[in-house]
């Protein structure tokens, strides 16, 4: 049985100019100990769908779903208090900007211990021991001293480690990492990704990695879900996705990787993700797709079967022999 199972999740934001569909009927499955990457451009709804799972969206958001089951519990049916006992405990999340995600008024030690006290009810001495243990686990040198530091006294990478320590403090079954390395420089990025992968190996927790960086995906993920304009357009294990992408968007994303470039100029995808007012009637990617024809522009494509990675396209790529991407 999968650890997390989401069916037909939609999130709409009510804005001054009407409703905006940020997430449109997406499905997710995460098995225990699995690393799932959700990729897509900015505005593709990858963060929003996970924030919806955590219950962290502002009140302007309307979340609907047929099913959200986590660890055998139906998150759609349970009340706020029961949800609070799961969130931050079995289900944890880290964010993009470690510098602003930690409270500037409290020491990092206090912030880590708060979770331990709140969810596990540890006494002071046990909190202290566990906090030091956690800091060692996430590779923070001199943990005893660092516990009394404030976030502004530490680097971005160290703060992200604190965030991770906080998130894994209650031994979560699933950790959602929302672009955990975007705000960090490249060497630190690799360290943090290694840390997350190591923690997964040690603890057997599931990991959802939200990113727009295909390089990060290739290095870390096991399965990849590609989102575009709020829809999931393709999902495959990482190897097949990189070798045989079925959706033209995935193919275009991969072509835009510098390592894969064959010409002098890096290929790009023209245009931007459609917003609230320029949502196409047919396939959402059709205005930017080099394969699009009249059907694509008028009829939204259905979702193909699992053998084609649930691709949402009228003309999937790499379906059989001899078709080049």
Report the distance separating Cα 167 and Cα 204, nearest Å: 14
Q: Does 63 bind other proteins (CB under 8 A)?
A: no
Supply the minimum distance, in Å, between the C-beta of residue 64 and other proteins: 21
Report the distance separating Cα 277 and Cα 229, nearest Å: 12
Q: Does 119 bind other proteins (CB under 8 A)?
A: yes
Q: Does 163 bind other proteins (CB under 8 A)?
A: yes
| Cβ within 8 Å of residue 316, ≥6 positions away | 246, 247, 304, 308
Q: Does 77 bind other proteins (CB under 8 A)?
A: no
Are 108 and 102 in contact by the 8 Å Cβ rule? The answer is: yes
Counting Cβ atoms within 10 Å, is residue 306 exposed (0-12), middle (13-18) or buried (19+)? exposed
Are 248 and 242 in contact by the 8 Å Cβ rule? The answer is: no
Options 10-18, 103-111, 281-289, 292-300: segment touching other proteins (CB under 8 A): 103-111
Q: Which two tokens stand for residue 80?
A: 């706020």
| Cβ within 8 Å of residue 95, ≥6 positions away | 101, 163, 178, 179, 180
Nearest CB to other proteins, comparing residues 57 and 238: 57
Supply the minimum distance, in Å, between the C-beta of residue 33 and other proteins: 22
Give the three-class secondary structure for 243.
helix
**Binding residue for other proteins, selected from 35, 38, 65, 101, defined by CB under 8 A:** 101
**Binding residue for other proteins, selected from 1, 16, 17, 104, defined by CB under 8 A:** 104
Nearest CB to other proteins, comparing residues 180 and 301: 180
Q: What is the dihedral of CA 285, 291, 297, 303, to 10 degrees?
A: -60
Q: Does 201 bind other proteins (CB under 8 A)?
A: no
**Binding residue for other proteins, selected from 2, 21, 89, 182, defined by CB under 8 A:** 89
Q: Does 84 bind other proteins (CB under 8 A)?
A: yes
Q: Does 4 bind other proteins (CB under 8 A)?
A: no
Q: Does 120 bind other proteins (CB under 8 A)?
A: no
Q: Which residues bind other proteins (CB under 8 A)?
A: 54-56, 83-89, 92-93, 95, 97, 100-106, 114-115, 118-119, 150, 152-153, 163, 166-167
């Amino acid at each position: 049985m999968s650890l997390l199972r989401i069916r037909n999740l939609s999130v709409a934001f009510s804005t001054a100019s009407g409703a905006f569909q940020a997430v449109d009927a997406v499905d997710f499955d995460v098995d225990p100990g699995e690393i799932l990457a959700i990729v897509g451009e900015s505005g593709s709804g990858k963060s929003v769908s996970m924030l919806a799972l955590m219950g962290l969206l502002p009140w302007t958001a309307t979340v609907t779903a047929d099913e959200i089951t986590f660890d055998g519990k139906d998150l759609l049916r349970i009340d706020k208090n029961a949800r609070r006992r799961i969130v931050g405990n079995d289900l944890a999340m880290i964010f993009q900007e470690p510098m602003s995600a930690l409270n500037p008024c409290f020491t990092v030690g206090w912030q880590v211990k708060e979770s331990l006290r709140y969810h596990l009810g540890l006494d002071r001495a046990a909190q202290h021991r566990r906090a030091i243990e956690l800091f060692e686990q996430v590779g923070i040198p001199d943990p005893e001293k660092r516990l009394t530091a404030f976030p502004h006294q530490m680097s971005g990478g160290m703060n992200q480690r604190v965030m991770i320590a906080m998130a894994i403090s209650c031994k979560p079954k699933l950790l959602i990492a929302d672009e955990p390395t975007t705000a960090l420089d490249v060497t630190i990025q690799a360290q943090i990704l290694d840390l997350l992968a190591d923690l997964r190996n040690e603890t057997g927790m599931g990991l959802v990695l939200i990113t727009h960086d295909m390089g990060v995906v290739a290095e870390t993920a096991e399965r990849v879900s590609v989102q575009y304009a709020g829809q999931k357009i393709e999902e495959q294990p990482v190897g097949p996705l990189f070798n045989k992408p079925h959706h033209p968007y995935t193919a275009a994303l991969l072509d835009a990787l510098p390592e894969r470039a064959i010409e002098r100029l890096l290929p790009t995808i023209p245009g931007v993700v459609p917003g609230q007012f320029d949502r196409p009637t047919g396939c959402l990617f059709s205005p930017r797709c080099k394969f699009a024809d009249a059907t694509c522009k008028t009829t939204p494509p259905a979702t193909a079967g699992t053998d084609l990675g649930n691709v949402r396209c009228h003309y999937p790529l790499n379906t059989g022999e001899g078709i080049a991407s």
